[in-house]
Structure 1
């Protein structure tokens, strides 16, 4: 398979601005990203590349940012080899050890998760995933029904399963993420995660005690009504993938329409994760 590589060079970009751009590119089909000394490279399947769409994203995302970029056609890479070069083990709250298959086990930690991310989002290294894992580690999910929206590698659902969740549904619109969740569930000997490929339309007509949604502000705002419809009274939602201002206020206001109230939030860098409860 042929790919298009778009390599960005920046003069004045902040880390959170680069994260936002990467998120916007992912939404138009870019599926792999590599850091460079002065920016990053983004990769998309040759058939999915559109200069018009790329220009629209850059115009909306990079206002007042000085940058240049190049576009080139490249042959397929061994993506597993690429991420193996940069994937280091991770420890969350001194309780959860996240590693790849080629790292040694560390049985001194209460929870160990083995992740083969491939091109799926969610190794725990991003601030949003870290905060969501911290919430799960501090929250009682024993015997609860859990919905994980935008599951990526399945890492959040896997951690909830290891903490005793009764049943779990993990949903992602990206087929790579869907397949990754299936594979990673097997790697971690988890048998009670049902992975689904799609968006809000595939949420089962069931009831959940806990919803995990690490996506982005606009998708969260669009899907809160769907979450409210399947969340039990007294149930918790944990959101991440957005910023404190104005995102948190917008999400809080939307949740109030469905009698879901803000509890607290945490912040790493510019990213926020928040806990809400349905009355």
Structure 2
């Protein structure tokens, strides 16, 4: 599956303006964003890109005076670009995330080796970092875990290293589905099952913990499905959205399905939030 890279350049842009623009881009199927010297690059699956929607969005944000260029990024080029820019990452002084071509660092309690193959979620994005911090703070011993929007399966792999009994990793992107399988093998994780699809492929079993790092609209659509398979007393962690106005919207919707807000983390304006299922 090929991606398009849309490179945006701005004369001047405030951080809050960039956050709002990125949130709107996510609404029209853009998946991930990388800062550049004069703006940022945004990636979208080629089959999901609609330039007319992008132009309409730019008209709504005309104060940004944004310029853009579109470039096709085939799998081979994506992997070369990723390898040339990827640097190892340390989470909470406990977890070391590296690529296959980096040296191991055995002084860290957990090590995760990632080969994304055009899927996203290496831990460098704020949302993934916060979700990993939550996993490191949570008891996963013997837990059945559901990882929604799994990407590289980095969250499920860390849950496994933290003692999870079984992990189901789900992503609608076929490349992510395959990446999860390969990364599980790279990390000697044999209790992770990767499924291709969305909420319709969630197994009808109970889970102790659910991890969902996606985006606000998908979360709002799928929260009911998550609540249906989460045990009473089970934990659910959400990320992929902003503090304002998204967190309040997520919290309000969760209350309808017996999911009680506990706390949240924030990096820049990105948020990860913890909920507990208090009732059926």
Query: What is the TM-score normalised by the length of structure 2?
Result: 0.89
The separation in 2 between residues aligned to 1:74 and 1:261, in whole angstroms, is: 41
The answer to whether the 8 Å contact 2:19/2:269 transfers is: no
The answer to whether the 8 Å contact 1:207/1:232 transfers is: yes
SS at match of 1:153: coil
TM-superposed CA distance for 1:167, in Å, is 0.5
Counterpart of 2:220? 221
Counterpart of 2:12? 12
The answer to whether the 8 Å contact 2:215/2:239 transfers is: yes
**More displaced stretch, 101-110 vs 13-22:** 13-22
The separation in 1 between residues aligned to 2:216 and 2:87, in whole angstroms, is: 28
Counterpart of 2:182? 183
Equivalenced residue count is: 278
Counterpart of 2:54? 54
SS at match of 1:156: helix
TM-superposed CA distance for 1:220, in Å, is 1.0
1:17-166 to 2 correspondences below 5 Å: 17-18=17-18, 21=21, 25=25, 28=28, 35-42=35-42, 49-59=49-59, 62=61, 64-71=63-70, 78-166=77-165
Deviations 1:179-215 (A, max 9, x none): 1111100110111111111111111111100000111
TM-superposed CA distance for 1:156, in Å, is 0.2
Counterpart of 1:235? 234
The separation in 1 between residues aligned to 2:121 and 2:13, in whole angstroms, is: 23
TM-superposed CA distance for 1:3, in Å, is 7.0
- Relative distance call for 1:251 and 1:41 in structure 2 (3 A) is closer
TM-superposed CA distance for 1:26, in Å, is 6.1
SS at match of 2:64: coil
Structure 2: any 5+ residue segments left out of the alignment?
Answer: none
The separation in 2 between residues aligned to 1:253 and 1:2, in whole angstroms, is: 37
- Relative distance call for 1:15 and 1:203 in structure 2 (3 A) is farther
The separation in 2 between residues aligned to 1:99 and 1:233, in whole angstroms, is: 36
RMSD over aligned CA atoms reads 2.6
TM-superposed CA distance for 1:51, in Å, is 2.3
The answer to whether the 8 Å contact 1:80/1:118 transfers is: yes
The answer to whether the 8 Å contact 1:141/1:165 transfers is: yes
Deviations 1:4-33 (A, max 9, x none): 553311123345654665565566565776
TM-superposed CA distance for 1:118, in Å, is 2.4
